[in-house]
Structure 1
Amino acid sequence: MSADTVARDLVRTFPFPFAGDTYRYSTNLEPARQSVQTPAGRWGDAVVHIDSGYAAELAERRAILSSDPSRMQVLPHMRPAAWDAMLTLMQELTLAYPDTMRLDREAGTFLWTNRRRGIEQRFVYGDPSTLPQEPLAFIGDQVQEDIVLLDQREGQLFVDAGLVSFASNWSFGFDLGMSFIEIHGPVPRVHDTGVIARAQKFLMRLQPDAPYRRTNWSLSVGRRLDLSTETYPDWGPERGRVLSVDDATFGAEVHLRVEVQHLVRLPESGCVMFLIRTYLLPLEAVAEVEPWRDRLMAVLAELPEDMADYKGFLAYRDRAVDWLAARKSVAP
């Protein structure tokens, strides 16, 4: 996808993740629902975000779940949390998109309307016979976010349910049932600095109606959302192939991949809902926004090698820096 064909709203609402010219892992948490102004537009008004990729991304999720149903799993003790998550997401959609989304409560039942999807569903909370799918599957087919549910017990958080179709170099099926600390074991530098321990303590203090958010980022090749370890044979070799393409193809193929991660304490179950919304913007589109181009170049050039390796782009990091520098030299 070239810069000319990137939908304008995808640039206007892109959550560029860098506040400075260097990057290190941090909790970087801030209250949700606060608008962030950027040189291209703004983002962050709501916990859930729908853009021009809505229909295509939901279709992609359905295809992934059809070929690999393990991408959605709910351990038995988390079924109440799945209902809690569904209702909370319906409320967030209603808040963000009142013209097309609506949740009404009528005499012990709920009526959910999603005009974008042509859905009008009456259901009884907690009664699976009143929904066409399990609650997490039903709402997961209406939001672009991946959904992870964390149970809090024994002084820790555990990943015990979720619907994750767009993982970035990790496996939801492998992580299911693991603790928050165990899952982050392979991440370089974070344990020495105490970032993960601090993050877990913060999450365990989350209060209902006070969601927070953070960003994460990487580079990836191609406009591919599903970078799970299960599909590595499909996308892993692309990271080497991109070294041999011409400059125009490199700028179109290499993407800045940003996750906006929302953290929400569910009011009924007390579990923590972790939402992951993935955004992709090709370098050629990033380079058209001068402050983004210069900052990304600085961050990539300074990033320690072990972090670039963990994020999966060490092989083509230097070329990305050179490519961005060349765009700077020819800018008017």
Structure 2
Amino acid sequence: MTRFFDQKNIILAQVEEKDLNSFLVSFDIDDEGNLLYQLDKFTEAIINVIPEYVFASYEDPNIPQHQVIEKLREAAKSIYKIKDFELMYRYYVEKDDSVSSEIKPNNRGEFGELILHLLLRDFKGTIPLISKVYFKDSTGVPAHGFDAVHISPDEKILWLGESKFYQDGKGGLKELLKDLETHFKKDYLEEQFTVVKKNLSVNQIPQREEWIEVLNTCTLLNEKVKMINIPMLCTYEHDIYSRYSDLQCEEAVQYHESNIRDLKKYFDDHNKHPLKNVLNVILFLFPIQDKKELVKKLHERLYHLQSI
């Protein structure tokens, strides 16, 4: 499958099953032969998502060359109109402790949605149906609802995703389970279908009219859950990168699988949703080396885009 954003294949897809996918960041060596966790290239792949995430502009990839830089600047500025992004920049990069009281404990991580967007596009072949950032309200809060609203054009599947960006895997899963319980109910889905239809009315995505009709005619909860995939991403810190220099060796693969199978069991054991047997949940697990390091690097790159 074509990778739109991770064009250097930095992300390793380790487990690919119907209800479970896992990913790792690959290693390389530097000019001195030292082992290198590819943080720079990984953040580059995530930042590549920004224009599409903001504008849902995949339908017009041939932006005139003289407009490319301006589009990047505009996208970055749009991101920083969201209060959580601005607060986290001040905390992680400027080391402004005065904003710590405004940052929620165990913050889900404002970059989780970008990583989910990247994984859906590069590994599931989806396209975004709407841009959440573009439809933010006047206070700089992104449109409420799901962290990702994508479609599989050929299969007519609606992907409604959630993401958590935690230091602890089980802590992130606990929050994802809360989202599953809250968001996949009749009234909430009806509300979100209304929001998506409103946004589609001013969008020019492929199959726009067809999807407006689908969302208008799909009124039964039973019909909705049949057409929806629910990718739930947990990005979390893990020690696999300090334990192994070769992530593809048998011992590392077994260590990784043991970790994600344990997390999958935790998720399944604690999933009390009454419709869990009919909801098509796909758990995405993405261990990283260091959350603080990744967030700081992403903010540095993103903030710089505002002034290029």
How high is the TM-score relative to the length of structure 1?
0.28
Higher percent of residues as helix? 2
Asked which structure has the greater CA Rg, the reply is 1
- Is the strand fraction higher in 1 or 2? 1
Q: Normalized against structure 2, the TM-score is what?
A: 0.30
Q: Which structure has the higher relative contact order (CA within 8 Å, separation 6+)? A: 2
